[in-house]
Amino acid sequence: MPELQTFTLPVFPLGSVLYPGGLLPLRIFEPRYLAMVRECVREKRGFAVCLISEGRETGQAARFHPVGTLAQIEDHDQDAAGMVHITVRGEQRVQVVTSRVRTDQLIVGDAVRVEAEPVTGLAERHRPLVDLLRQAMEEYDPDFGRAEELMDASWVGFRLAELLPLPPARRQWLLEVTNPTLRLEALAQFIDELRIGDEMRKR
């Protein structure tokens, strides 16, 4: 088995999880991340978004879960106050194997790419999840129901994981799972738990 090749990239620990294919708006104001954005835009490269395991988004460099998502900047703008607004799109998952903290508290990591999941169709028992996702999204995008991605178990699972009120630890677990069918099974179970909870509260 060939050794996985590592590459170096900045790491942005956040209190939220970015999934492959997802969009995430960010407001950048700390000097370390302003410098990171400038470097990424200039060099046309991305950075890793990883969920914080200990610490905070601001101030001293936080500890983070090693499996995150490579984020590419799709749009950026600076307001009159000097704050930079960016929108990133999640690409392939990455695993940060080693990291170091620069003097400005920016984390730089050496990472490997997590192998992309194969395109997997949806089982009949998971069709209700597609209907739920379509209902949730068509309010914002009338064309959403015709998306070809609705036939891909990975894509459906990641989009549902973004929308559901999941605790951070479960969001991270769903990111690390490499079986799209297992991810959908877990999401279906969580939705059932939510429904049971709602019924209990109504009594």
Tens digit of each residue's pLDDT, the chain (203 residues): 456 799 999 999 999 999 999 999 999 999 999 999 999 999 999 999 999 999 999 999 999 999 999 999 999 999 888 889 999 999 999 999 999 999 999 999 999 999 999 889 999 999 999 988 888 877 766 666 566 678 899 999 999 999 999 999 999 999 999 999 999 999 999 999 887 655 545 55
- Which two tokens mark 97? 């194997």
Residue 28 region by backbone torsions, left for phi larger than 0, else alpha for psi between -120 and 50, else beta? beta
Residue 41 CA to residue 119 CA, distance in Å, equals 31
Asked if residues 11 and 99 have their Cβ atoms less than 8 Å apart, the reply is yes
164 Cβ contact list (under 8 Å, min separation 6): 187, 190, 191, 194
Q: What domains can you pick out in the chain, each with its CATH number?
A: 7-113 (2.30.130.40), 124-202 (1.20.58.1480)
- What pTM value is reported for the model? 0.90
- Please report where in the chains the tokens 């799209």 appear, as a residue: 180
- Sequence length of the chain is 203
CA 2 to the chain's CA centroid = 28
